[in-house]
Structure 1
Amino acid sequence: MSDALLARLDKITDPASGKGLVDAARLDGAVIDKGVATIVLKANADEDSATLKAAIESAALELNDVERVRVITTIQRSPGAPTKADAPRQAAADSPRPAKRIIAVAAGKGGVGKSTVAANLAAALAKQGLRVAILDADIYGPSIPRLFGLRDIKGLKKTDKGIKPAESHGVRIVSMGFLTKPDQPVVWRGPMVQGAIQQFLNEADWGDPDVLFIDMPPGTGDAQLAIAQTVAIDGAVIACTPQDLALDDARKAMGMFEKTHTPILGLIENMSVFLCPHCGEPSDIFGHGGARAEAEAMGVPFLGEIPLTIELRERSDSGHPVAFGDGPVADAFARAADAMLASADEARKPAPEIAFSS
């Protein structure tokens, strides 16, 4: 944390205790990076947080090396109120929903094409005419802007309706990538990441989409757990490759969602086979069929196999998701998207009631 920034913030009086914000332990983070001050404020539900945020912004801007201020708020519950550990999924279910369906796309590790899968599942549904949005929750490594050709977007505007998402190919998108330069790392601790994700989710003007995808950060850490506990996710899609190393981590991702009572909508095998651009012959460079076998062993749906092609790489780099086009990869994503929606519909069905005769 920045000592100079903390000293400024401690001069602001905490309305609840009368102490400075630092002494009152109201701050989860306060850093300055390339002219941007990011402060995480633990807000009380019964206070005027807008006034406090304005005071924080004013104090931070007094520092010569601060050009812009970002205040992220996290809610503290009153003593005796239910905590996240008590009923996280119920609390999330009781909150207003930003979309008809919320689907997380996750992976136990990086490098398996999770964001590519999320982008193209969204593209496949948008191609069908559904209203689709994506929250890029991969704060440290946002890939969605590149995948949708939105790397030149600088900042996100805020209107009376909330944060205005960027849009590409009919898909609404909110990403940390719009708030940082391509070569600028995000050096944040867990609470700051969690607060940013929650603000993106709750304050964006999503436009009531049919499906809101959350492109999850890779792994099973604080950010992933916070999303699974505080968002009423309808289900999770697990992306993996056929090799055993990736499947080991996919099991961990499934285990995390199972512990938070989030339905697993299925596994999708990315890079299932490489299709030679010259002869068309398939090559199982990462093995083949591992995700299908794992899905059968775990008792979860298998959503499909996505081949690796030059076209997929080229269209991803150029910002035109391959699912918007035609061909074997687009067809594979279309089938996977249909299977995912069918699995989500099945997960929503109530458990059958057993009637006993008297």
Structure 2
Amino acid sequence: MNISAIQTALDAVQIPLTGRTLGSEKAVADVSEQADGLHVRLRFGFPVHHIGADIANRVQEALIAHTGDAAIHLSIDTDIATHKVQPGVSTIKGVKNIIAVASGKGGVGKSTTTANLATAMARMGARVGVLDADLYGPSQPTMLGVPAAKPDQHNQKLIPVEAESGIQVMSIGFLVDTDQAVVWRGPMLSQALQQLLFQSEWNDIDYLFIDLPPGTGDIQLTLSQKIPVTGSVVVTTPQDIALIDARKAVDMFHKVNIPIFGVLENMSVHICSNCGHSEAIFGSEGGKDLAARLSVPLLGQLPLSLPVREAMDSGTALQLLEEHPAIADIYTQAAFQVALAVADKGRDFSSRFPKIVVE
């Protein structure tokens, strides 16, 4: 076999859903001819479980002319790195990348989006966590199916609760009576957020999604100054009143040097479950126009969906994506675009640098 020709053929293979190639992503980790055939090892900086079969088929098609009757042994793995965050903020042990999910306005489905993006990312093969930073109204324990759970403690640290999907979850909802209001001023909220994040024993998380509360106040300021954020996702509905607040969230992220990976438009259209008629009851194309104005991707447009609402109330996000392929496809595509955006950022090597002490 001509290994050089095989390498060239591999480099030209298109990665599904991306417009990228194995060569452009430097994904070909090893190619070798052995007694039982050709061995090819691919390594990606983003999760690819959902497109693994397509990648294997494309590799087979690209190499068949070069290998003849020889068997092709293909292995695919991932090596998700820690990427750059705001200047002067250190990364967290056990967490590689943090993605903030914000809306600026309540009631647009931000928590629902967080839960389903995280679940989609986990189904793609990544190690995922969710931090519920909406301290006044924590809903992630319910949405991810662990409302009655309590985190264990080890070495004076909290062990995040693990949901059915394998997602590690931490929320103030685990630690306070859910029927009682959290009546705290800003400094207490900021301290609670930092404790939930820094005093939790996160276990080798590739992507930690932070479900932010509405607005641009103390929690968001703490996030930008003390928490290493890789990037953000802005959630909105198409209506003008939601877009006004979404633009405020966008402006906040710009001011604190946190990149925006994309806009996800929720409740884009209502589809009648009886007759199938669709109606844009909240307006149309608002999220698309916002994404275009920001020059960031529109991650998806989700309909106002009864199955989504039912799944969030019952804590069955994983079952929702398994039983509703159309809904799963929207969230999977959105999560994949976020993963690609993270992979495109520069890597963070600060943990490798020695500490310098001036005496």
TM superposition score normalised by structure 2: 0.70
Q: 1:271 to 1:348 in 2, by over 3 A?
A: farther
By how many angstroms is 1:324 displaced?
4.4
Aligned residues: percent identity? Answer: 45
SS at match of 1:271: coil
Structure 1: 5+ residue runs without aligned partners?
1-87, 351-358
Give the aligned partner of residue 141 of structure 2: 145
8 Å Cα contact 1:301/1:343 also seen in 2: no
Give the aligned partner of residue 219 of structure 2: 223
Does 2:76 align with 1:91? no
AA aligned opposite 1:331:
D
Give the aligned partner of residue 111 of structure 2: 115
By how many angstroms is 1:273 displaced?
1.2
Render the CA deviation track for 1:253-289: whole Å, top value 9, x for unaligned.
0111111100011110011111222223322111121
Q: 1:349 to 1:248 in 2, by over 3 A?
A: farther
By how many angstroms is 1:346 displaced?
2.8
How many pairs were matched up?
261
What is the rounded CA distance, in whole Å, between the counterparts of 2:325 and 2:279 in structure 1?
18
AA aligned opposite 2:153:
K
What is the rounded CA distance, in whole Å, between the counterparts of 1:107 and 1:97 in structure 2?
28
Q: 1:148 to 1:95 in 2, by over 3 A?
A: closer
Render the CA deviation track for 1:165-221: whole Å, top value 9, x for unaligned.
111121110001111222210011111111111111111111011111111111100
Give the aligned partner of residue 78 of structure 2: none
One of 296, 313, 328 as aligned partner of 2:309:
313
8 Å Cα contact 1:89/1:230 also seen in 2: no
Superposition RMSD in Å: 1.8
Give the aligned partner of residue 345 of structure 1: 343
Matches within 5 A, 1:168-317: 168=163, 169-317=165-313
8 Å Cα contact 2:104/2:246 also seen in 1: yes
TM superposition score normalised by structure 1: 0.70
Does 2:330 align with 1:335? no
Structure 2: 5+ residue runs without aligned partners?
1-84, 349-359
Give the aligned partner of residue 127 of structure 1: 123
8 Å Cα contact 1:270/1:306 also seen in 2: yes
One of 122, 143, 157 as aligned partner of 1:162:
157
By how many angstroms is 1:340 displaced?
1.5
Q: 1:255 to 1:98 in 2, by over 3 A?
A: farther
Q: 1:223 to 1:138 in 2, by over 3 A?
A: same
SS at match of 1:142: coil
8 Å Cα contact 2:135/2:213 also seen in 1: yes
Of structures 1 and 2, the one scoring higher in RCO (CA 8 A, sep 6+) is: 2
By how many angstroms is 1:95 displaced?
4.2
8 Å Cα contact 2:172/2:196 also seen in 1: no
By how many angstroms is 1:97 displaced?
4.3
What is the rounded CA distance, in whole Å, between the counterparts of 1:133 and 1:162 in structure 2?
16
8 Å Cα contact 1:304/1:336 also seen in 2: yes
Q: 1:203 to 1:291 in 2, by over 3 A?
A: same
Q: 1:228 to 1:124 in 2, by over 3 A?
A: same
